[in-house]
Structure 1
Amino acid sequence: MKIDLTHTTSGKINAALMAARRASGAGAAGMVLTLVIVTDEGSAYDALRAASDASREHPSRILAVIKRAGRSPRARAEARLDAEILVGSDAGSGETVILRMHGELASHAQSVVLPLLLPDAPVVVWWPENAPQDPAKDPLGALAQRRITDAVTAESPVEQLAQRATSYTPGDTDLAWTRITGWRSMLAAALDQRPAKIVSVVVEGESYNPSVELLGLWLHNRLRVGVERIVTAGPGITAVRMRTRDGEIVLDRPDGLMGTLCMPGAPDRMVALKRRETAELIAEELRRLDPDDIYATAVRTPVDRLHDREGAQERAAANPAEAVPAETAAPARVTAKLPDAPAAKATGKTAGKAATGKAAAKKAAPRKRSSS
């Protein structure tokens, strides 16, 4: 069932929802949460389809907020709310309300959304694109127990991770983290089957992919070893190599579909590592609404902990304008050499003693020649 309302209010939308529910025989008791999607017209269709598919696992009321502030002063001054209500088979396993807010009303979306939230049910806000700098302080984000962003849609995904670390509040998460659940599960299972001391790790994946960076940071935090970042053509993450004294534990997925797990002393195994659709990612995030402490630890780790020498060289060759200036890279090299500072001082003293010995030998040489 589909109902269109123009120049409406939150009260009229609630009344229409109740009437549509009674007419279709659906009940509100089966819905477990409210999912608020903050999007634009261009991304609304894909986001609503993903949310509708996810609602078959998590019956929910979906509120799609589409802001149309308007460009002209007259359009911005006109505040109007239009709504499209979908109930029954058109809305998955719950209810869908598409809210189009015009003019000044777009700046007060929370006042429209608040009366439409399911009572005594969790609230999740999802920004498919253009997430705010601080989701928890956003007026809509402040209504939610869980806030979902997607760094891969940002203009600079890796820099977006740094912003997520700065503004992190318990309840925040990012779909770049959800995409590596399968990789984390497989790698943890491999180490459970064959416990070994990991010496170093190599993570391979396409450039500017936040999931690749998060996987490397997670491995760095869990294993307490250095992680090297190598850029490949993708798609996504292509391989993880964990080096041990007995050999390498390798999880390789060159085509984005099936992976191969190789461990020393064991036959190679094919594992399922297909790149998942957005609906599967959203469904996973809705399974638990408590804070994700592991994500918080990983995203708060500076990305420069990963050694990306080959990747930096490839990006500099492909885009000379983006190459890091020598004066900018110098502090990182100095920092990397800090642990070797005592040895460097000792070497300097030894060199000094050697130089002194050579000078003394030169002074002593004439005396030897004269004495002979």
Structure 2
Amino acid sequence: MIIDLSDTTVSQVAKQLEKVREDGGAVALGRVLTLIIAAGSGVAEAAIVAANDASREHPMRVIVVTTTEGTARLDAQIRVGGDAGASEVVVLRAYGDAASNAESLVTGLLLPDAPVVVWWPDEAPTDAAASPLGRMAQRRITDAATTTDVRDRLSLLGRTHSPGDTDLAWTRLTHWREQLAAVLDQPPFEPVTAVEVRGAAASPSTALLAAWLQMALDVPVSWSYEHPDDWQEGIKSVRLSRASGDILLERPSAAVAILTQPGQPDHELHLPRRTVRECLAEELRRLDADLLYGRVITEGWSHLGPPERGE
């Protein structure tokens, strides 16, 4: 069910939500958090689809805030039932001066006594934790992959990092980190002497993986950005050098990786690029600070040398 409210107020939107619940169209009980999506109009619908999918694991209220120029006005839309997954979705389109105070737009719509998470699926503020929406949230989610200059964005994230910040470029690394940790947890238990990471030019995950490996293994790490193949947008390969030979985890196609180890047959692994929905759902599983990400984006990134090749 979709309810449109034109030239409205936050108070009227809240009253309509209450009426929907009273009429049996939606139930607030069981909602575990409020997710605020601050998105440009061009990506708002895709972000809602990802949030709706993630809500099947994390029932929540989703508040989408888009702002644009024009005569001061607030339009809203309430989506429940089949149009909202396991969520209640409130879309706020603020025009002109009505968009000047994002915090006041959402305060009256937050679930009582529930954590708040803010997600910027495209352009994020310079300092997420200090922004009007970020100050309200326990967790703040950005995505460095949406920026044009990856290295500048990662440096900014490191300088402005506060506990509770995270980035989907880091979340996309979960399966890579799991696979590499599993390999190193098997004999022979030799120290890694050098690491090489390769990835596409627009992939901030490449740099974050290199920074994590340098921190975790305390060895030199070389990394390079390369022109992507037709399918490739993320990491291409990781090579770990040990006395008995190199371990190579390489992704030659969009969904498959090949693990090569000395004295063993090659193993084919399912390792596709993770979807936004998967990454968002993972981030919503924990509402405490991601301490490892904090160390990687601050200490790890600042100590990582420059890539061997630019674009």
TM over 0.5: yes
Equivalent pair of 1:21/1:87 in contact (CA under 8 Å): no
Shift of 1:254: 1.6
Residue in 1 that maps onto 2:23: 23
Tell me, in whole angstroms, the C-alpha distance in 2 between the residues paired with 1:223 and 1:264.
20
Q: Summarize the Cα distance change of 1:202–1:307 in structure 2 as closer, same or farther, 3 Å threshold.
A: farther
Moved more, 146-155 or 5-14: 5-14
Tell me, in whole angstroms, the C-alpha distance in 1 between the residues paired with 2:25 and 2:94.
29
Partner SS for 1:48: helix
Residue in 2 that maps onto 1:158: 151
Tell me, in whole angstroms, the C-alpha distance in 1 between the residues paired with 2:305 and 2:252.
21
Which of 75, 84, 87 is the aligned partner of 1:91?
84
- Is residue 259 of structure 1 aligned with residue 252 of structure 2? no
Shift of 1:307: 5.3
> Identity, % of aligned pairs?
47
Equivalent pair of 1:170/1:291 in contact (CA under 8 Å): yes
Shift of 1:303: 5.5
RMSD between aligned residues: 1.4
Give the partner amino acid of 1:233: H
Residue in 2 that maps onto 1:124: 117
**1:1-372 maps to which residues of 2 (within 5 A)?**
1-70=1-70, 75=71, 79-194=72-187, 195-234=189-228, 235=232, 236-300=234-298, 301-302=300-301, 305-306=304-305, 308-309=307-308, 311-312=309-310, 315=311
Runs of 4+ in 1 over 4 A off after TM superposition: none
Tell me, in whole angstroms, the C-alpha distance in 2 between the residues paired with 1:2 and 1:47.
17
Equivalent pair of 1:238/1:256 in contact (CA under 8 Å): no
Shift of 1:233: 3.5
Partner SS for 2:118: strand
Q: Summarize the Cα distance change of 1:25–1:104 in structure 2 as closer, same or farther, 3 Å threshold.
A: closer
Q: Which runs of 5+ in 1 are unaligned?
A: 316-372
Partner SS for 2:42: helix
Partner SS for 1:42: coil
Tell me, in whole angstroms, the C-alpha distance in 2 between the residues paired with 1:117 and 1:231.
42
Give the partner amino acid of 2:259: L
Shift of 1:272: 1.5
Task: Report Cα offsets for 1:324-355 as digits up to 9, x if no partner.
Answer: xxxxxxxxxxxxxxxxxxxxxxxxxxxxxxxx
Task: Report Cα offsets for 1:168-201 as digits up to 9, x if no partner.
Answer: 0000000100111110010001101232200000
Give the partner amino acid of 2:118: V
Give the partner amino acid of 1:242: L
Equivalent pair of 1:37/1:62 in contact (CA under 8 Å): yes
Equivalent pair of 1:24/1:88 in contact (CA under 8 Å): no
Task: Report Cα offsets for 1:207-238 as digits up to 9, x if no partner.
Answer: 14210000000000000011111333341111
Equivalent pair of 1:34/1:124 in contact (CA under 8 Å): yes
Partner SS for 2:185: helix
Shift of 1:25: 4.4
Tell me, in whole angstroms, the C-alpha distance in 1 between the residues paired with 2:38 and 2:113.
22
Residue in 2 that maps onto 1:345: none
Q: How many equivalent pairs are there?
A: 305
Give the partner amino acid of 1:116: L
Tell me, in whole angstroms, the C-alpha distance in 1 between the residues paired with 2:225 and 2:179.
21
Partner SS for 2:108: helix
Tell me, in whole angstroms, the C-alpha distance in 2 between the residues paired with 1:10 and 1:230.
49
